[in-house]
């Protein structure tokens, strides 16, 4: 045990390893039109069936020439035109030039294009005031971008808007992708009401389920919303049984603490196996992970900030692996000077909510306020986490801290 290990709390790094250890990516595939494939993971390498560009073409509007025919004050008559989409395909007499537009095919024998800004047109032809010509200047050669057979996109890439024009360039109308993992989720708690209902005494709105659904979608998975389940062991057991049949992962919020109505962990123990429960992370200590007969299980704490952060920090990499998104990378961490102090005692890795900005070329960061695990506003206002190491104590303004920038799943 290290200096700051708390008995019974698993260090975050150990938990992150355990969460990924047994996960195998989904294997079922489907074929989708490319415009519908954003957010899906490629099931196979995409190799280019053609050269891109497919022919030598002009990078400029100007004149196609043979370099040894270009001399100062010697006009070359125009033999014809090569336009984008309609090449010049007649014989090309010597000592003439061809009018050419950007993207148009280079006439055979041409070894340079002179931009029109360096040319003067008269009745006698075109006179060039650029005569020191480089071989193949302003010519984009066949295969310059991608050669036939090259790897354009690797299996395991999660497709974004960036990838769609790339695939379209290759002439591919459809792609083979992996199916999205299904994540069944529900909230537990007698106090919870769905949006739209009036709140009676002691009740609150179920905010976690809406946030968790959004995260599941952002992580590239398919959400299966099983609603709010009261703190009733029979109903919880039935819901677990149904969820683990219908989904790859079952995700719950609430009921994993040690309160009198916290049944989730016991039920998991009866139906499946608990891998770990209780982490050295703040917020989010009562995070549970295990297996059900037919699905993985992640139990998020009920407190809204804890639920959201553990879903982002711990569940996201698991779902990326399950989705086959092999190119997923953890969020970026960089040092910054803090303008606020942060309360902290050694023992747990702390994810405090903050805003970073750049001042005189230096990253600085400031707390977004109330850091209670039930106070979501500081999460909503943040654009980064201040990640305070397990062994660290209180942090004073002016100290250097590590900030973790939000990745695309929770930032604009
Ligand atoms: P629990 O983990 O069930 O003991 O819940 C811890 C705290 O989180 C309590 O204050 C709950 O009322 C609150 N909570 C639990 N589930 C939700 C939820 N789905 N939405 C908002 N707050 C919740
Ligand atoms: Mg509860």
188-225 pLDDT tens trace = 999 999 999 999 999 999 999 999 999 999 999 999 99
pLDDT in the model for residue 185: 98
Check which CATH number belongs to the domain holding 383 and give it.
Answer: 2.40.340.10
The structure tokens listed for 22 are: 């047994």
pLDDT in the model for residue 4: 61
Is 2 contained in some domain?
no
Number of domains the chain contains: 4
76 Cα: distance to centroid of ligand 1 (angstroms): 82
pLDDT in the model for residue 94: 98
Q: Does ligand 1 have an atom closer than 6 angstroms to the CB of 208? A: yes
Report the percentage of the chain scoring pLDDT > 90.
96
User: What is the rounded CA–CA span in Å between residue 185 and residue 410?
Assistant: 19
Ligand 1, atom 23, residue with closest C-alpha: 302
User: Which ligand has an atom closest to residue 288 CA?
Assistant: 1
Q: Does ligand 1 have an atom closer than 6 angstroms to the CB of 209? A: yes
Residue 36 shares a structural domain with residue 155:
yes
Beta strands in 123-198 (DSSP E): 125-128, 139-140, 151-153, 174-178, 182-188, 192-193
User: What is the rounded CA–CA span in Å between residue 66 and residue 111?
Assistant: 6
pLDDT in the model for residue 412: 87
Is 328 contained in some domain?
no
pLDDT in the model for residue 102: 98
Residue 264 shares a structural domain with residue 350:
no
The structure tokens listed for 379 are: 């999460």
Confidence at 6, pLDDT banded by 50, 70, 90: confident
User: What is the distance, to the nearest Å, from the Cα of residue 164 to the centroid of all Cα atoms in its chain?
Assistant: 15
Instruction: Specify the pairing of strand 249-253 against strand 295-300.
Output: parallel
pLDDT in the model for residue 261: 87
| Window from 81-90, 98-107, 264-273 with minimum mean pLDDT | 264-273
Is 327 contained in some domain?
no
262 Cα: distance to centroid of ligand 2 (angstroms): 6
Q: Which residue has the tokens 């309360």?
A: 343
For residue 3, is pLDDT > 60?
A: no
Check which CATH number belongs to the domain holding 118 and give it.
Answer: 2.170.190.11
State mean pLDDT over 257-267: 90
For residue 2, is pLDDT > 90?
A: no
**Ligand 1 pocket test target in 302, 311, 376, 377 with most atoms within 8 Å of CB:** 302
Q: What average pLDDT does the chain have?
A: 97
* Structural domain containing residue 281: 10-28+180-322
Is 277 contained in some domain?
yes
Q: Which residues are 53's β-sheet partners?
A: none
Residue 391 shares a structural domain with residue 286:
no
Instruction: Give, as one character, the DSSP assignment of residue 34.
Output: G
User: What is the rounded CA–CA span in Å between residue 179 and residue 391?
Assistant: 41
Residue 269 shares a structural domain with residue 314:
yes
Residue 36 shares a structural domain with residue 19:
no
Check which CATH number belongs to the domain holding 284 and give it.
Answer: 3.40.980.10
Residue 255 shares a structural domain with residue 346:
no
Residue 274 shares a structural domain with residue 372:
no
User: What is the rounded CA–CA span in Å between residue 318 and residue 213?
Assistant: 16
For residue 355, is pLDDT > 70?
A: yes
- Expressed in percent and rounded to 5, the helix, strand and coil fractions of the chain are 20, 35, 45
Q: Is 248 exposed, middle or buried (0-12, 13-18, 19+ CB in 10 A)?
A: buried
Instruction: Specify the pairing of strand 333-338 against strand 400-405.
Output: antiparallel
Q: Does ligand 1 have an atom closer than 6 angstroms to the CB of 252? A: no
Identify the CA nearest to 243 among candidates 202, 186, 205. Answer: 186
Residue 171 shares a structural domain with residue 39:
yes
User: What is the rounded CA–CA span in Å between residue 58 and residue 143?
Assistant: 14
| Window from 166-170, 228-232, 254-258 with minimum mean pLDDT | 254-258
> Which of 271, 299, 322 is the last residue in one of the domains?
322
State mean pLDDT over 78-94: 98
Is 248 contained in some domain?
yes
User: What is the rounded CA–CA span in Å between residue 17 and residue 279?
Assistant: 13
Residue 93 shares a structural domain with residue 201:
no
pLDDT in the model for residue 8: 83
User: What is the rounded CA–CA span in Å between residue 231 and residue 268?
Assistant: 14
Residue 189 shares a structural domain with residue 303:
yes
Confidence at 1, pLDDT banded by 50, 70, 90: low
pLDDT in the model for residue 7: 80
For residue 5, is pLDDT > 90?
A: no
Residue 305 shares a structural domain with residue 204:
yes
Residue 213 shares a structural domain with residue 119:
no
């Amino acid at each position: 045990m290290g200096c700051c290990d708390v008995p019974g709390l698993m260090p975050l790094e150990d938990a992150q390893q355990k969460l990924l250890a047994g996960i195998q990516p989904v294997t079922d595939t489907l074929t989708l039109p490319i415009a519908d494939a954003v957010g899906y993971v490629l099931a196979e390498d995409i190799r280019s069936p053609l050269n891109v560009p497919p022919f030598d073409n002009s990078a400029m509007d100007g004149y196609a020439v043979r370099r040894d025919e270009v001399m100062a004050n010697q006009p070359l008559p125009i033999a014809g035109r090569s336009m984008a989409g309609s090449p010049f395909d007649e014989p090309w007499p010597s000592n003439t030039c061809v009018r050419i537009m950007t993207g148009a095919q280079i006439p055979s024998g041409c070894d340079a294009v002179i931009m029109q800004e360096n040319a003067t047109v008269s009745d006698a032809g075109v006179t060039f005031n650029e005569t020191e010509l480089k071989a193949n200047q302003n010519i984009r050669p066949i295969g310059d971008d991608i050669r036939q057979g090259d790897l354009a996109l690797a299996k395991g890439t999660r497709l974004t808007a960036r990838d769609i024009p790339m695939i379209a360039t290759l002439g591919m109308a459809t792609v083979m992708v992996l199916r999205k993992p299904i994540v069944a989720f529900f909230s537990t708690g007698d106090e919870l009401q769905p949006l739209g209902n009036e709140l009676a005494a002691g009740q609150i709105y179920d905010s976690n389920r809406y946030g968790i659904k959004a995260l599941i979608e952002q992580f590239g998975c398919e959400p299966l919303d099983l609603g709010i389940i009261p703190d009733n062991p029979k109903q919880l057991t039935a819901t677990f049984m149904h969820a683990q049949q219908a989904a790859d992962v079952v995700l719950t919020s609430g009921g994993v603490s040690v309160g009198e109505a916290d049944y989730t962990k016991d039920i998991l123990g009866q139906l499946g196996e608990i891998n770990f429960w209780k982490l050295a992370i703040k917020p989010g200590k009562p995070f549970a992970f295990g297996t059900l007969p037919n699905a993985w299980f992640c139990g998020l704490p009920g407190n809204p900030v804890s639920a959201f952060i553990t879903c982002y920090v711990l569940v996201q990499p698991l779902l990326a692996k399950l989705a086959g998104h092999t190119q997923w990378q953890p969020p970026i961490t960089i040092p910054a000077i803090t303008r606020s102090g942060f309360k902290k005692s050694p023992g747990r890795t702390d994810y405090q909510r903050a805003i970073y900005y750049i001042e005189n070329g230096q990253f600085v960061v400031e707390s977004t306020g109330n850091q209670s695990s039930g106070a979501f506003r500081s999460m909503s206002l943040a654009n980064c986490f201040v990640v305070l190491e397990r062994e660290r104590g209180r942090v004073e303004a002016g100290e250097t801290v590590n900030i973790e920038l939000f990745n695309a799943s929770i930032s604009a």
